Amino acid sequence: MFYEDHKNQAFYAMLNKENIRYEFLKGNLSSLLKKLKTFDSKTVVHTHGYKAGIFGRLACIVTKHRCISTYHAGEAGTGKLKIYNKLDKLLSPLSTNFAVSEQIKASLKNATLLENFIAINSSSIHFNRCDNKTLNIGFVGRLSFEKGPDIFCRLAENMQQDLDIKFHIFGDGPLKGEVPNLHNLQYHGLVERNDIWSKIDVLLICSREEGLPMALLEAISEQKFIISSAVGAIPSIIKHDETGFLMLEANAQHCQYQVEKLLLLPEEQTKNIINNAYKILEERFSGKQQFLILQKAYTGT
């Protein structure tokens, strides 16, 4: 259920393809209240996002439905977003709360850790480049300041002379119009997951702030090498030189250093690092434990 129609046609098309039902409210609290009153008392409202959390909790008090909220984002934000995030956290006592990282959990008064989870690709570990002559590096996520697409673009600009490397951006967002036109950088927009992982060898996360990005888990499942800034819950998965590379800072200079380091890494060592990350994925993010936690919350037992 969307608070309003955000005109995100590419995302709606993906939902339609997966046969996921959805509907739009009218962008106000009254339309949410009217809709919730059509559901029986056993219906549980699970909110995702600061605005959904704020209005969802307030509406559930009126309609007497149970409200569950998941806190995904680790960034504080600026301007109106900062105010919304603060209000979202202040109202957290009105719902049963989950946080996707320990860092986010610590910022709330009552929350349980519920790490993201995915269906794991069980194919054998490999690191065969999509293009034998080129290392393809991808940015996957929302094009917003905290995710650092500007850092990724600056890296691509700085490495234009390296003909063995190509950069790819997947996603949409407010900084879409700032993606430069470079011969070694391709912007793909919002595409299906399979169209991402078949085109890249390395996932580069240059976020300034982060929770636990789903793209990280998906990339590990698809046996992609991870280079990331050490933010949010990422260091709990990516250990430098063991399960990927961590950057000291989220900037183009540190990104380039790690990319150049990967180019010199022996193939066997590269495979070992990917394999180590995959083992952590199997142990913590297969969804078995997460399902039990969600089931308990939904049933109220």
Q: What is the pLDDT of residue 244?
A: 97
Whether residue 157 sits in one domain with residue 102: no
In a domain, residue 57? The reply is: yes
> What integer is the mean pLDDT of 258-281?
94
Place 109 in a pLDDT band, splitting at 50, 70 and 90: confident
Same domain, 201 and 109: no
The confidence score (pLDDT) of residue 121 equals 66
Specify whether the CB–CB gap between 87 and 75 falls below 8 A: no
- pLDDT tens digits, one per residue of 149-180: 999 999 999 999 988 999 999 999 999 999 99
pLDDT grade for 61, boundaries at 50, 70 and 90 = very high
SS3 142: coil
CB count within 10 Å of CB 125 equals: 13
User: What's the confidence (pLDDT) of residue 266?
Assistant: 93
**Residue 229 belongs to domain with CATH number:** 3.40.50.2000
Domain count across the chain: 2
On the question of pLDDT at 93 being above 70, the answer is yes
- Same domain, residue pair 229 and 143: yes
Res 126 pLDDT > 60: no
Please return the burial class of 161, using the count of CB atoms within 10 Å of its CB with bins 0-12, 13-18 and 19+.
Answer: exposed
Q: Is position 130 within any domain?
A: no
| pLDDT of residue 94 exceeding 70 | yes
Residue 42 placed within a domain: yes
pLDDT at 120 (0 to 100): 79
Say if residue 132's pLDDT is above 80. no
Residue type at position 66: R
Identify the pLDDT of residue 117.
87
For residues 263 and 295, membership in a common domain is answered with no
Write down the pLDDT at residue 129.
Answer: 64
Scan for tokens 């900037």, then name that residue: 251
Q: Is residue 4 domain-resident? A: no
For residue 126, being part of any structural domain is answered with: no
> How far is 73 from 101, CA to CA, in rounded Å?
9
Burial of 182 (0-12, 13-18, 19+ CB in 10 A): middle
| Range with the poorest average pLDDT among 25-34, 87-96, 120-129, 177-186 | 120-129
Nearest to 94 by CA among 62, 135, 133: 62
Per-residue pLDDT at 131: 63
Domain membership flag for residue 125:
no
Pair 111, 190 in one domain: no
pLDDT at position 115 over 90: no
Give the range of the structural domain holding residue 142, as residue numbers without chain letter: 135-284
pLDDT band at 283 (very low <50, low <70, confident <90, very high): confident
pLDDT tens profile 217-252? 999 999 999 999 999 889 999 999 999 999 989 999
- DSSP letter at 120 equals P
- Is 32 a member of any domain? yes
Q: What is the mean pLDDT of residues 260-281?
A: 94
